[in-house]
Chain A
Amino acid sequence: MKKIIKATIIELIVALLIVTIILIAIKLFFGQEIDNAILLVNQVAMKVENISEQRETQIDEANSKLINYPAYGTKYATIEIPKIDINLPVYFGDTLEILKQGVGHSSGSYFPGEGGSIIYMGHNSKSVFRRFSELQIGNEIKVTTDYGEYTYKIYDMQIVKETEVEKLPIQKEKEILMVYTCYPFVNIGHATQRYVVYAELEK
């Protein structure tokens, strides 16, 4: 029995030796190619880390600055325009994916409460901003964020070309909400104009 076990162990060691030699040969001859292939696959196989829970967005009122900005693509507010029965979610970001879900917040602009230009945008579809033409100066726009409520009063409305970015200026002297959509409201094909509603902070 002992002899059988001994012979078996020796032959298993020989098998392992063969494996070792083959692995060394693979490493020597194809090592670089294998490393490159693994690197290539791992470029499309990102490990998803468990992101710790997003901390609550707050506002430092003394400095008019947000603490813990909302994550890109997340909903952080709702916009209400009673005059045209609008009550829509506002997402931080302005990609087409975001605009499909509601109103987008241009990432280059300030947040409500920060005392600067806030730029929101939405499609001119029936469920979003098609009824913008019914708005009048003095109508209210209410933005309810996770950290507070802000009411703005419309003081101007303009039709601008899509290239006229100067009509949506970024500044930090006065809190202005600029909400725009494509114009004409019922167009066919690509709309080259934008209908911009300007509102200033009331409370």
Chain B
Amino acid sequence: MKVLINILKFILSIILVIAISILIFANLATSTILSKEYVLNKFEETGYYTKIKEQVQSNFENYIGPSGFDENVMENIVSEEKIKNDTQTIILNIYEGTNTKIDTEEIKNNLRKNIENSLENKKLNITQQNAINQFIEKICSEYTQTISHTQYETSIYNALNKINKIIEIAKKISIIAIVILIVVILIINYKNIIKAISQIGISLTANGVLYIIMKLFLNSKISIENIQIINDAVSEIIRKMLMNILDSITNYGIIFLIFGIILIIVSNVISNRKYMDEK
């Protein structure tokens, strides 16, 4: 009977570790990549808007050579403020499904004004007018592409929505599971509650060790600092987020490990004192 109870306790501890892990990872996801505020905060932190402005300007310059226009037609056609607003529009599209299109009217007007100034009111024929219109459209489409990086904002929003729902359910189930498991552990150890504390301590220690191993494993397998996706600005954001998540995993690991070991030691000290008193 004692063996069976010990096996049951062991299985309950494993389930408790899994339930706590699910809750921790679900929380980590909702407070980082699934949080619009977190992502926008990271954009500010990494100087994303300044970097993306440089990228936009550099991409525009690629069109200057073959166009025959002077370099200065690209000057001041887009501000950092506009880039910031448009980036936030894309983030809202992705996280809230707003489906707002980027307005390029301001860029069009600024560019047209610069071109007219550079041509010094020279009379243009229809072909030349069309060529200018095409050039302006091309620059606007380049801008939209550089800002949004994707045309699948609605699909990403739908996917995120599903993930959010699944994570919310996982959170609820894991909280219920943790409460039930603790109650069951207390019932099994009703004769000696100290043993229940020790068992919870074992689960917390296991959680701590598990997270630290995960962090070490991921660090050894992935070189996050070298991730390159789309452009430098986007890569920097992704690197920062992943580093942040790994740091949080380590912090949780250390907290659980310390708290778990303290519970184990305290429960052993109390039960030893109890044993000595009884003796």
A residues lining the B interface (CB < 8 Å): 3-4, 7-8, 11-12, 14-16, 18-19, 21-23, 38, 41-42, 44-48, 96-97, 99-100, 123-127, 182, 184-191
Contacts and interface: CB of A to CB of B under 8 A. Distances in A.
B132 interface: yes
Contacts of B134: 189
Contact of B131 (A47, A97, A99, A188): A188
Given A11-B268, A16-B209, A22-B206, 5 more contacts: A7-B268, A8-B261, A15-B206, A46-B226, A188-B124
B126 to A, nearest CB: 12
B64 A190 contact: no
Given A8-B265, A22-B14, A44-B229, A189 B202 contact: no
B14 A21 contact: yes
A45 B221 CA distance: 10
B201 A124 contact: no
A104 to B, nearest CB: 10
Contacts, number: 123
Contact of A126 (B61, B70, B213): B70
A147 B206 CA distance: 65
Contacts of A48: 226
Interface residues of B, number: 48
24 contacts: A7-B272, A8-B261, A14-B202, A15-B205, A19-B17, A19-B209, A23-B210, A42-B222, A45-B226, A45-B227, A47-B223, A47-B226, A100-B58, A124-B68, A127-B71, A184-B68, A185-B68, A188-B67, A188-B128, A188-B135, A189-B67, A189-B130, A189-B132, A190-B66
A188 B203 CA distance: 72
Contacts of B58: 100
A40 to B, nearest CB: 10
B160 interface: no
